[in-house]
Every structure is written in C-alpha cells, then in structure tokens.
Amino acid sequence: MLDLPVRRRETVPVVTHGSIAAAVRPWQLLPPQDALVVVVKSSMTIVPEGLAEPLPPGDQEPPTGDVYFDEDPQGTLRYASDHAPFKPSADILMVGHAYAQPQRSGATNVQLAFGQSLRLSLAAIGDRRWQMSGPSAPSPFDRIPLRYERAFGGPGHRENPVGRGLVQGVAGPWLPNLERGDKLLRSEQDRPAPVCFAPVPATWALRASRLGTYDGTWLKERWPYFPRDFDWRYFNAAPPEQQIAYPRGDEGFYLAGVHPRLSVINGKLPGLAPRAFAQQTREAGGKLWEIPLNLDTVWFDADALKVCLVWRGILNVTREDAPEIALLHACMDDVHARATMETIQQRLFALIEGEMAPRVSRAPGPEAPPPVGSVEDGFLAGPVKLPPAMPREEAAALVASGAVLSGVSFFHCDLTDMDFRGKDLRGARLSGARLEGALFDGADLAGAALDRVSAARASFKGANLTGANLSGASLTNAIFSGAVLADATLADASASGAAFDGAELARANLADATLIGVVFDGASAAGATFSGAALRLATFRRAVLDDAQMYDCSAEESSFDDASMVRFRADDAKLSKGSFQRVRASGCSFQAADLRSANFVEADLSAGIFSYSALDHAVLHRVTARGARFRHARIFRAHAVKANFMEADFESADLSHADLRGANLYSAETLRATLEQTRLDQALLAGSKLARS
C-alpha cells in the first residue's frame, strides 16, 4: 500500500482530479452518528445547440455559501449555499434577465425546461400601475431582472417580502413585472404566488416553515439537534415546482427569452458526473470506499451563459474528525462508461505520489558546478578523492585582487574574518567553508552553495542570497539584516541569536532549523517554511508571514505582535506564552497547537482554525474571530472580554471558567461545549444555542 501523507487533526484532505472543486464538512444527519458531507461542484460554459463544457480545473469555482445580489442579504438570493447537508430532491434554478422580443416591447415570455420533468414559463411585463379600469398598459422595456423584487409580494408578505404589488397587505401602485402567464393579475384583490426562477432565501416562510417545532419537548428530547418534525426540504432552495428527482447529468435544457441575441438556448449537460471515494488509513484497513453522490443542484446563469452543477454525498465516520480516513478523493467520470475501482485507485496513488514528490532543487547561479558521476561510477573508480581546500593565503590574495569570484570554489576553505563586502559571488561554492566573522555586506551570493559553512558572527547585511543553499550551516549570531533570501534553503541550519530583521525570506525553507532568540522583526517571509524549527524566544514583530508554515515547531515565548499572518499554518506547534497582539491572521490554522497563556489581544483571527488546540489562560480580549473554529479546543480560564466570536464554532470545546463578558457570540455553535462557570455577562447570545439554554 502507498505511504499516505500525514493528515492534520481536524481537516480531512480532499484530492481532486478533473474539472471539479470539492469540500467536506462534518455533520450529524442521524444523531449521534457522525458523518462527513462531501460536496463536489463543477462550473461549465453553456454551448448553444451543444454540450456544456466544463471550465478548466484552475477556473473551477469552489463550493460557497449564500450569495446575494448586490451583497444585500435583505434582497434576492442569487446563489444558495453549497453547504447543505442533504437535499431530498434536486433544485433547478436560473438567474439572469428577461429580454424583450422584439426589443422595447411591453412583454415577453421566459421559459425554463430541464430533462423530461420540468417545463416552466413566466411572463415578463413592463411597468404597470393600477387604474380605475384595471392594470395600465405595460411600458416598453429592454430587459427585466429575474429577481424576487420584480415578482408579486411586498413588505409583510410571507412568501416574498421584497416584491412589488402589495404594501402592508394592501394593493400598491405598481404591479409586479414577473407573473404566471396563465394567471395574470386582473384585480387588486388577486393574491398570486410569486414566480421567479431564482433560489428562495432560508429565512423566508417557504423554507423557514420547514424547520419544525422548537418547544419544551424539543428542549427535553432533541436539543441541540433538529426537532422530530424537521422537514429536510428546508435545504432545497428552489420553489417546489422547480424541484425534481435527482438527474443523471446528461439531460437537455431549454432556456427562452433570457439572452439579448439568442431567443432560445438549447443545450445539454455533458454526461459527466464526479465520483467520490474515502481512502482509509493504514491502521483502519487501507481500503478505498466509494461515496454515492447525487446531483441535487443545477443552477443556470443566463447572463454569463454558465451552469453550475453540485453533487452531494454522505459518509458515516467514527467521529467528526474521521481519524480513520486518510483522505477523500473526487474525480470526474463518464456517466455512460464508468472507470473501474482499480483505475480510480491507480490514478489516486499517482496523484498522491506527485504531491509527495520532493521539490526540484532550485537552479544554481550563472555557473553550475560540474556534473557528479553516478553511484555506480564511484564504486568502479574507487574512493572519491575531494580536491584540497584552497590555502587561506591564496584565497585572501584572490579576494584582494579584485578578480571575478562568481562560480569560484572555496570548498572547505578557511575564510574567517575576510572581507567580501560588495563582491560578486553568484554561484560560488563555499560548502563547508569557515566564515566566522567574515563580512559579506552587500555581496551578491545568489545561488551560492553555503551548506555546512561555519559562519558564526558573520555579517550578510543587505546581501543577495536569492536561492542560496545554507542547509546545515552554523550561523550563530550571524547578521542578515536587510538581506534577500528569497527561495533560499536554511533547513537544519543552526542560527540561534542571528538577526534577520528586515530580510526578504519569501518562500525560504527554514525547516528543522535552530533559531532560538532569532530576530525576524520587519522581515517579509510570505510562503516561507519553518516547520519543525526551534524558535523559542524568536521575534517576528511587524513581519509578513502570509501563507507561511510553522507545523510542529517549538516557538514558546516568541513574539509576533503586529505581524501579517494571513493563511498562516502552525498546526501541532508549541507556542505557549507567545504574543500575537494585533496580528492580521484571517484564515490561519493552529490545529492542535499549544497556545497556553498566549496573548491575542485585538488580533484578527477571522475564519481561523483552532480545533483541538490548547488555549488555557490565553488572553483574547477584543479579538475578531468571526467564523473561527474552536472544535474540541481547550479554552479553560481564557480571557476574551468583548471578543467577536460571531458564527464561531465551539463544538465540544471546554470553555470552563472562561471570561466572555461582552463577547459577541451571535449564531455561535456551542454543541456539546463545556461552559461550567463561564462568564457571559452582557454577551450577545442571539442565534446561538446559549440563547435557548
């Protein structure tokens, strides 16, 4: 069996192949049974009179939440959330505009047909008013948006509170622009159902009425789960007449009146459908299981000539973090010629091997070292004899002569205290050299080989070390202030007490390095790797660490104050007593990290992941952690006065004795959380289970 990549504690990785995007989230559809909901999405271009064409993998839109027109949550829902756990039937939806045919006419017919089971139409009519004799003649129009603001309804109307035609239950001056062609308004007393092909928001009566009964019986027998009379159709965003049995993915469709040049758009889905699989860990048996998927959402954007398809499946697991699952795999397949399990597994393992393969070493400087023979050549030729190191006197004379040093070999040479300031050393080979106290300020060492050098107290201020190799180097108390180390390798280096303030470390590799007490203040280290490094007492004040990685590092008592740490990753890291005041760390991940007594005052941790982390005695005053995840986290005796935890997830977290006075816990999830003696004075609890307990 292939060696599978090590997965992080909470997140189950998803490996995709083909023109799809995928997401997974835990859910309990039949509590207390834990499950994973797998969502696979494919965005396609509509080809009139042809098959819809999937967008390239890099252009696929990821599963998303609710999207409203004009970002107005009080108006029409443009796209319903992909993260529903289950839909008992498929939603067929369309947004766009109705176009007058011919142009500037007063009415047109809009049609939506899909497969053999859906045939719908509506009349799009220009603006009209009520007159004594009835509706006025419609005004000519070019196009009318297919939104609920143009359908029958109005303030106070249960089915469509944003429509037109009613004002507090009384007929208003304007008639709706979207009506059923066979049931047009004739009288001010008519109350037709609103007609629109767009999704219905979850808060409107049509869907909210399916949430079930939340009463004393629910509190006693079902809380915090859905009540017994919960209707799963709540998650269907389409009006009832737009819900059909799950399609296959090769159906034809017909759109009429929704394009300025094409009166009719005939097309067909391409007959492609994703398949999803769960790969068990070796300890769980190592088997590959298929997860059945249903196509439950077809969403047409007539303006963009685009269609989005969403498939959904459910996998029961032992607990919410699914420790028995190494990864999930989703791939596109042909509904008429499905690939065998053997083919799927071979392709998956090839993808995994590709992701696990070591990165190609970075290019050397202008002059590469001569090629090295093969291992067999070495055995045949006898022991390899390395060339003797250049004598110190010869090296000193060469440096003093002003000769070009680019590509020169100083292999194992004694260069202690020598002055290389401003020298061109691109591609130079200094492996194993002694550089204690040497000066390289302003030197160009791009692509140089500095692996295993002894460079304690050496100075590289403002030097260019782009792509240089300093792996295994001894750099204790060395100075790299303002140096450029983009794409450089310092893996396994020993650099305690060194200074990298203001340095450029983008994408640098410092994995497993010893960096105790190192100063990185003001450094730019976006995308850098510090995983496994020893960073105790290091400082990263005002540094840029966006997309940087510190997995499994030891960075106790380190300071990151005012740093930019967007999408920063430090799972399983030891960061106790660390200072993260005012950091900008949206999308960060500290899964299973030790953050005891850490200081996050006024930090932005929006959408961060802290599941299984230890935050005992941490200081979180006035943090912004909207949508952050703290599942199974230990937040014992933490201090989070006036923190913003809106929509945060504290499922199974331990908040005992925590101080959450004045905190914003609006719609926060606290399922199975421990709240013994938690202080919630003046906290906002609306929308959370705490408001009902």
Query: What residues contact 46, with CB distance under 8 A and at least 6 apart?
Result: 52, 265, 267, 300, 305, 306, 307
CB neighbour class for 372 (10 Å; exposed up to 12, middle 13-18, buried from 19): exposed
Q: By the 8 A CB rule, do 676 and 658 touch? A: no
Give CA angle at 506 (431, 462), nearest 5°: 65
Identify the H or E element spanning 400.
Answer: helix 392-400
597 confidence band (pLDDT: 50, 70, 90): very high
- pLDDT value at residue 355: 56
List Cα–Cα distances, 37 to 226, 291, 610, 630, 652, in angstroms.
17, 10, 21, 19, 19
Q: What is the pLDDT of residue 187?
A: 80
HEC-encoded secondary structure of 434-475: ECCCCECCCCECCCCECCCCECCCCECCCCECCCCECCCCEC
At 378-387, the pLDDT tens digits run 333 444 455 6
> pLDDT over 90 for what percent of the chain?
75
The pLDDT of residue 381 is 40
The whole-angstrom separation of Cα 455 and Cα 495 is 9
> Residue 369: what pLDDT?
34
Q: Is the peptide bond before 224 cis (omega within 30 degrees of 0)?
A: yes
Q: What is the mean pLDDT of residues 578-607?
A: 97
Return the pLDDT at 156: 85
Assess whether pLDDT exceeds 80 at residue 542: yes
Q: What is the mean pLDDT of residues 444-451?
A: 96
One-character DSSP codes across 499-520: B-TT-B-TT-B-TT-B-TT-B-
Strand partners, 232: none
pLDDT top residue among 103 and 559: 559
Residue 366 predicted with pLDDT over 80 = no
Report whether pLDDT(408) > 90. no
Give residue 54's pLDDT band: very low, low, confident or very high (50, 70, 90).
Answer: very high
Strands (E), 199-258: 243-244, 252-256
The pLDDT of 131-151, averaged and rounded, is 91
Q: pLDDT of 563-576, one tens digit each?
A: 999 999 999 999 99
Phi-psi region of 168 (alpha: psi -120 to 50; beta: other; left: phi over 0): left
Q: What element of type H or E holds 341?
A: helix 341-356
Q: How confident is the model at residue 614, as a pLDDT?
A: 97
Please list the residues that pair with 219 across neighbouring strands.
none
Residue 628: DSSP 8-state: -
Least confident of 295-299, 347-351, 540-544: 347-351
At position 173, the amino acid (one-letter code) is P
> What is the tens place of the pLDDT at every residue in 234-253?
999 999 999 999 999 999 99
Q: Which two tokens stand for residue 147?
A: 């939104």
Q: What gap in Å lies between CA 693 and CA 681, rounded to an integer?
A: 15
How far apart (Å, rounded) are the C-alpha atoms in residues 485 and 465?
5
